[in-house]
A and B are shown apart, each in its own frame.
Chain A
Amino acid sequence: MSEMDSFGESGTTVTLPATPSSWSRRDFIKGVIASGVSVSGMSYFGAGCTTPLPAQTGGVERLLSLTVNGQVRRVDVLPGETLAMTLRYKLGLTGTKLGCDRGECGACTVLIDDVNHYSCSTLTHRVRNRQITTAEGLESPDGTLHPVQQAFIDELGPQCGFCTPGQVMSAVALLRENPNPTRQEAREAMSGNLCRCGAYDHYLNGVMRAAREV
């Protein structure tokens, strides 16, 4: 059974009409966007789950509020949806990257209440009342970069850059927990983030530089 069907047959979602057609569901979402209920610019329902989602079971409120980068965002979330997919495909926050989608690489690292998590392995429904921070949410309103971001530029941390947002988030989480890490502590704290370009030395230089400036 596809999740489209499960959606249409759901009797539990009080905020959504039970409709069998994917198109009417899209229309519904467009209506939500137009009415300003949702702040999402783009909605791609169930867009990214590479494995079939389980059929919807009862009791899950689908239209929920997420606090992302200090803003409350209203978003429709499928029961088995991961936070990475919600951020990337519904909230337009594509800075959170998917390198493996199975908890191996750390490219999707975000902060949940200041602690770094793999968002590919976090269900969005589990973080409803939490503070979520992504790479896009670190700058000051005036555009000043977070010290970690600036230090990564100064030390030429990124190469291809695909793992960089995840590296940034793990470094920010480390410095919130431990503002003066040793290089060895930093190395261990960052070890959940793979970098195939092998820029580890430069990222560590960045972490240590940021620690001096935080």
Chain B
Amino acid sequence: MADLLGKDFTPPDIHGKVTGRAKYAEDFRMDGMLFCRLLKSPMPHCRVLGIDASAALAMEGVVAILTAEEVPEQPGPANNILTNEPHFVGEPILAVAAVTETIAQNAIEAIELDLEALPFCVDPLESLRPGGPNARTAGNTVESGEVQEVKWTEQDFAAAGEGELPMGEPGAEWSYGDIDAGFAEASIILDETFVTAGTSHHSMEPRTAMAYWQNGKCYLYGSTQSQSHVHPGIAAYIGIEEENLVYIAEYCGGGFGSKGGAYPLLSIPAHMSRKTQRPVLMRISRAEEYFLGSARPGFQGRIKIGFRDDGRMTAADLYILQENGPNAGFTDMGSAASMISIVYTPLNMRYRGLSILTNTPPRGAQRGPGQNQMAPAIEPLLDEAARRLGLDQVAIRRINAPTHDSRYGADRGPITSAYMREALDQGAERFGWEERRARSGQRDGSKVRGVAVGQAFHSAGRSGLDGLVRITPDGKLHIHSGVGNLGTYSYASTSRVAAEVLKCPWENSEIIRGDSSKGLPWNLGQFGSNTSFTMTRTNFAAATDAVRKLKEIAARRLGGSASGYDIGNETVFARGNPSRRLTYAQAAQAAIEIGGEFSGHEAPEDIHDMTRRAVAGLAGTGLIGVARDNLEQTGMVPAFAVGFIEIELDLETGSIEIIDYLGVADCGTVLHPQGLATQIKGGGVQGFGMAVSERHVYDAHWGLPASVGFYQAKPPTYLDVPSKMDWHAVDQPDPNNPVGSKGIGEPTMGCAGAALVCAISDALGGHYFNRIPVVADMIINTVSQRTQSHRPLQVNTQ
């Protein structure tokens, strides 16, 4: 299988991107379309006692107002559609539709709100103090879906030394081995408190949605990473059956986790359209994207690790306090712990974590949620251990690197493959590690060199989803993909597996996607680095089913048994006599005539209802190949990435120039080299942002945000990253995937962030910053031995 896989190709959606013809959610128009704007909370936590919209509704061109009472209430700490008890600045209270957006905005400004200010909190530690404020009236943490109150004692706080994280009763805990024995065995022990900042996703497309209703169905144009995966959730937000939602998401202008699942904002135009009986477009501003566009939770953490003389990590003890935003949030802290368990395979480990609610934007998954905050916090400590033990930085990582037999996380489950050592070795050679290391600490005027390596991990594949392909009587192969289109092109590269299995030329294959009415199968979304593993399996399963059906059709029409037939050149032919054959076009026609499972009039029992509906809608249009991915999966599928970096740090200005960067991936067999290259480098760029510039800034006194623009929240520009970046892949197959593939999107970011923080530390002789991002003023303060402007555990700082 090598005709299509492992080769570059032109993805079908790229032409529209360079010509401007690609239609994102904001690019669709309907006659009579209204515009919708949101009235958002000006306070971090308050109760809406009254709404006077009389002046607004009297304005010329204002059509309707939509309030929280008119939309489905979301239970407990879930993200709201609209609410009368906002829990963060910018949370939508109501929406107004008008004939123009300007009128809608003017109407919003004419609405009088009567608000009761409620207690709020932007720092988990403050909330944990006895008598400290709670982010929600019911409490400050979420336990099994319920909001609870948790406070630590004065003794808990007093027990922590100056600048150390207090560690009271945790909300989650697991361990393996004997942590005390592990530390007893260690010859060096490092114990550090750290803070990682909350960060915005900064998707370039501010999330937009347009909706209208026709014959009882809601047609919604939205911006999501996923297609089928978000469908049930969006239908629920609208309050309709899945079958009554037509969801169109052909392009997504960036998501990075923030558009992986359904989000409530998508449903507001649908509700407004139902109310007004007119199409409604709602776009939000860049500033609003910083409230409503999700964010990565920050950590206040403490990590204690011990090493033997030979560099082996004998014990790791992690405590994380997660700044979670006001709602259910995400599982970052647990994922951070699991990352340590598999990247460094400590012989003994304990994890404790507590997620505390704050009145800041709701948190969700952001590229490598948990794993990628952890990497830049812990990796400089590997370097410190290496220095103390007289080991090389690559060598200490190699000593602790996972192998195929390594175990993962709390349950010590198996993994499918690990080539971290190969990634380190091959990367070191390609980067010229030894030669560059010799430049570590070299001075040139005010500038000093730093050379470093960083590692990261994310799980990278799932199973049990469905595949669906169709051969039509014109002989064309249609690969139905419900995975979505995040922009990685993996929706396309994984679809090529179906063409490969069916030995069908790519030119005669078409990917059907982007619109739920086209008959799309139940697939996972484009998140969690899973697509390359998951979708190659579903497409393999569906295409294999189509091959079986082609052979059976040939046997029925041409005689003999199905096993006597083979496929090639878009025909199914008798093994001994290739002239006895049906073309794919003829076989598709025959499938329609025979009916049953061949034409999609019958479907397998074990497929998802969404796939069943898709098959029913396509029945009779050709030969249907459909199957659930029941291929074996023997463990967690890990993706590993390693970053090598050389920087020049200016001791006078604190500015950093990245001289060179190499990202190396262990993502199984490479499906699409160019696509992989963009993931490694693009993830690298995001990692640099996480390491040195991006962060939430909140005013602790008023709970107001101060990072609501690109220029404030600081994603990297062309000038912040190296002019050229290099990449490499280990390219070893994963045994659980029919084409050897694993995902990779997320760890490409964490390894780069870790490498850059390590390089800064290296340039400064091993200084550990206890804080990510390492911004320029922190560097200058360190160099000039001045006190930092932040308190040790302070969050949301400048």
- Chain B CB within 8 A of A93 CB: yes
Binds A, one of B13-21, B119-127, B603-611: B13-21
Q: Which residues of A contact B (CB under 8 A)?
A: 2-5, 8, 20-22, 26, 42, 44-53, 88, 92-102, 104-105, 107, 134-136, 138-139, 145, 149-150, 152-153, 155-165, 168, 183-184, 187-188, 190-191, 193-202, 204
Q: Which residue of A lies closest to B485 (CB)?
A: A160
- Chain A CB within 8 A of B59 CB: yes
- Chain A CB within 8 A of B72 CB: no
Are B10 and A153 touching (Cβ within 8 A)?
yes
0 or 1 for each of B703-729: is its CB under 8 Å from A? (1 = yes): 000000111000111110111110000
Contact of A135 among B18, B99, B725 (CB under 8 A): B18
0 or 1 for each of B79-113: is its CB under 8 Å from A? (1 = yes): 00000000000000000000111110110010000
Are A191 and B717 touching (Cβ within 8 A)?
yes
A97 to B11, CA, bound (A): 21
Are A183 and B724 touching (Cβ within 8 A)?
yes
Given A136-B19, A160-B251, A188-B719, decide whether A97 and B100 contact each other with a Cβ distance below 8 A: no
Interface on chain B toward A: helix, strand, loop, or mixed SS? Answer: loop
- Chain A CB within 8 A of B678 CB: yes
Shortest CB distance B104–A (Å): 10
- Chain A CB within 8 A of B242 CB: no
Shortest 5 CB-CB contacts between residues of A and residues of B? A95-B20, A198-B685, A162-B253, A160-B487, A161-B17
Residues of chain A lying within 8 A (CB to CB) of residue B10: 153
Contact of A161 among B33, B251, B286, B675 (CB under 8 A): B251
How many contacting A-B pairs (Cβ < 8 A)?
A: 224
A48 to B685, CA, bound (A): 32
A199 to B748, CA, bound (A): 13
Are B253 and A98 touching (Cβ within 8 A)?
no
Are B60 and A162 touching (Cβ within 8 A)?
no
Are B723 and A164 touching (Cβ within 8 A)?
no
A99 to B719, CA, bound (A): 19
Residues of chain A lying within 8 A (CB to CB) of residue B686: 196, 198
A107 to B105, CA, bound (A): 23
- Chain A CB within 8 A of B537 CB: no
Shortest CB distance A6–B (Å): 10
- Chain A CB within 8 A of B402 CB: no
Given A49-B101, A198-B684, decide whether A100 and B20 contact each other with a Cβ distance below 8 A: no
Are A2 and B60 touching (Cβ within 8 A)?
yes
Shortest CB distance A16–B (Å): 16
Contact of A198 among B26, B59, B721 (CB under 8 A): B721
Given A2-B59, A49-B102, A202-B677, decide whether A194 and B715 contact each other with a Cβ distance below 8 A: yes
Residues of chain A lying within 8 A (CB to CB) of residue B103: 2-4, 22, 46
Residues of chain A lying within 8 A (CB to CB) of residue B486: 160
Residues of chain B lying within 8 A (CB to CB) of residue A200: 681, 685, 718, 721
Residues of chain B lying within 8 A (CB to CB) of residue A201: 681, 721-725
A1 to B75, CA, bound (A): 39
Given A46-B100, A101-B286, decide whether A158 and B710 contact each other with a Cβ distance below 8 A: no
Shortest CB distance A193–B (Å): 8
Given A159-B678, A199-B682, A201-B681, decide whether A2 and B724 contact each other with a Cβ distance below 8 A: no
